């Protein structure tokens, strides 16, 4: 799973240790944002759109007037979805963390001889939490390769017009072609945010930014537009309104 890692730690040795472990146990698709520190942290969270895939590791005691608990509280007040992990030599602050409603997903102790194993457990817990929210990824076998598609990244799926019995997934991160009919795919995409009442498309309502009836197009979260025509856009707009009223 592709995650974004941020280490908020002012001790070079401990930051280097955790960096090494994340590069060992994190997935190849994950990104470690080494440029983030306690001084530019607030600018980051004010500018960046955060999600459940953003994982922040906070030391608690900095050589500064502010603490990791202070910064974690600011982060949680701004975003309820991102993941917070405390990485500290001081594990006696649990009550304060609970009282300030920070809701971390884990705590790692510096110097722990089993730190790598405990980090793996935290990363697995994060993965399970995201899957519970978004559903398990779609997994396909293609030419001896395993293709994983995270459902939350799917903008829409369309029947491939060039090759029979193939579909094309349009993702936030690009696109993938899979050898499968649209009818077969609709049977396994059971989440209610996927609109499956069109013959040649599956549309992810979660990633629609705008339905432009005048131009008969859908605008997705990344700015991509999909032209559908009058009849289909009206049908989809009604279904989207009904779905939105129930969430």
Beta-carbon-side half-sphere exposure of residue 166 (alpha carbons within 13 Å): 12
The average pLDDT across 160-174 equals 92
- Global pTM exceeds 0.85: no
d(CA 53, CA 127): 9
Per-residue pLDDT tens over the stretch 203-245: 999 899 999 999 999 999 899 999 999 999 999 999 999 998 8
Q: What is the pLDDT of residue 92?
A: 72
CA-based nearest residue to 55, from 98, 20, 3: 3
What is the mean predicted confidence (pLDDT) over 145-161? Answer: 91
Contact 177, 132 (CB under 8 A): no
Instruction: Please state, as a whole number, how many other Cβ atoms lie within 10 Å of the Cβ of residue 145.
Output: 7
Q: What is the pLDDT of residues 70-109, one digit of tens each?
A: 999 999 999 988 999 999 887 677 767 777 889 899 999 9
Backbone torsions φ then ψ of 45, nearest 5 degrees:
-70, -20
Owner of token pair 């300030």: 100
pLDDT digits (tens, 9 = 90+) for 170-184: 998 899 999 999 999
Summarised one tens digit per residue, pLDDT across range 114-150 is 999 999 999 999 988 887 676 678 889 888 888 989 8
Closest CA to 13 of 59, 44, 55, 54: 59
Residue 247: pLDDT above 70? no
Whether 27 has a pLDDT exceeding 90, the answer reads: no
Stated as kind and residue range, the H or E segment containing 153 is none
């Amino acid at each position: 799973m592709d995650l974004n890692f941020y280490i908020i730690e002012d001790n070079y040795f401990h930051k280097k240790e955790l960096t090494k472990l994340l590069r060992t146990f994190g997935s190849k698709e994950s990104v470690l944002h080494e440029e983030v520190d306690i001084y530019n942290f607030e600018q980051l969270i004010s500018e960046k759109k955060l999600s459940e895939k953003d994982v922040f590791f906070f030391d608690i005691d900095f050589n500064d007037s502010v603490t990791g608990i202070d910064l974690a509280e600011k982060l949680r007040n701004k975003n309820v979805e991102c993941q917070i992990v405390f990485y500290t030599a001081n594990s006696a602050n649990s009550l304060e963390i609970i009282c300030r409603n920070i809701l971390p997903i884990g705590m790692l102790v510096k110097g722990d001889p089993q730190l790598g194993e405990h980090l793996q457990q935290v990363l697995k817990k994060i993965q399970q939490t995201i899957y519970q929210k978004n559903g398990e990824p779609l997994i396909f076998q293609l030419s001896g390769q395993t293709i994983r598609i995270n459902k939350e990244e799917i903008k829409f799926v369309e029947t491939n017009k060039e090759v029979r019995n193939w579909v094309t997934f349009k993702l936030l991160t690009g696109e993938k072609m899979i050898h499968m009919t649209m009818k077969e795919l609709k049977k396994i995409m059971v989440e209610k945010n996927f609109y499956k009442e069109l013959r040649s498309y599956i549309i992810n309502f979660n990633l629609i930014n705008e339905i432009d009836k005048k131009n008969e197009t859908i605008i997705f979260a990344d700015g991509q537009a999909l032209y559908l025509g009058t009849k289909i856009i009206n049908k989809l707009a009604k279904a989207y309104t009904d779905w939105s009223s129930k969430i």
